[in-house]
Structure 1
């Protein structure tokens, strides 16, 4: 996987070894990288650097990641925020996502996973930077609001379109029903989790995925789109 020319990423973490590791790795992938060691510095550099993606640690001095995320989103700029945390607490994830964070990664994590999540955010929020969104047998056409599978346009409802796009953009990543509901239906959705199963079944029918090789079910974990 390679970075895209012109994509700016701001890293904010108070652990120097993590900051250096990520900076070297992302720069090596072709991204333009800027770093900050505390929350206030992150806000200042975001204003100067205008990043597309901010990778933001939660526990930082001077201003924590939650407050930085809130301030970034209040500015109204199109910026994707990926939160980092040493905790796997549900309350932390809910707090970050409620404040507008676009994704959440728990330490320790693999560099490959972070790259996949960065690419997913770019495809979702900055498709113009990627020169068209073609992933495996899929092509996502945001302007026309359609998804092509093996060069054939799929007849999708708005919700099916949103769900399939989310699955494709996050291919290879296990997605829980809760994560899918939050990202596709929204945090205010008050229905049952089983609605996800209904729409997954519909997508499988339209994709001819009778053996569930494309959209896999992982019992007790969720779903994963496999494109290999």
Structure 2
């Protein structure tokens, strides 16, 4: 498979911090992969994803999207990616349809196409009957589904997901994961971060575990499980490599 994202010796240290959030991290992601980024709290996952999305600048290192360098072509790259953050990126007083029209307009989608895509998307995630209802009246699972639609309206080549099913009911999770599988089958590369290790084990085609700003292991889920004696799940591998000590931080 063709390489779509390449990271070389990426480091990030925030102003006023005495430690690196990322340190000399190198990574290659292939076209069509579902690439899981897993790690304890404070390991550097959010910093890495934010850097890959162009939201923050690295202290040092290089990033490429296909043959485009992030430093010279950040805007062009951002037009080809979709981002679904953990926090809802929605306007609570607007309706579901109004939110999607707004985000679609930011991508420059034609009005006629956008109207059709919004209607189809809401139908696909079971929210057609709630299109004209304000987001503030929606349950968490309903908001999560709209949040996902907002990130894929422009049909991105690469989709970044941060905890896409956190806090949702079983039925919403089923709809979300089915839609993500459809996107993957259509060729979208997915970069996924979550604390749901069982979900990651069955969803991801490849996984990297990050700790203290560096990748400590990388491979297919089953390969990682087989590499640790006595492990039967990805959670066993995760605890073996990162320890059982709490990682609370503020």
Q: Which has the higher contact order (CA 8 A, sep 6+)?
A: 2
Range into which the TM-score falls when normalised by the shorter chain: 0.3 to 0.5
State the TM-score, normalizing by the size of structure 2.
0.30
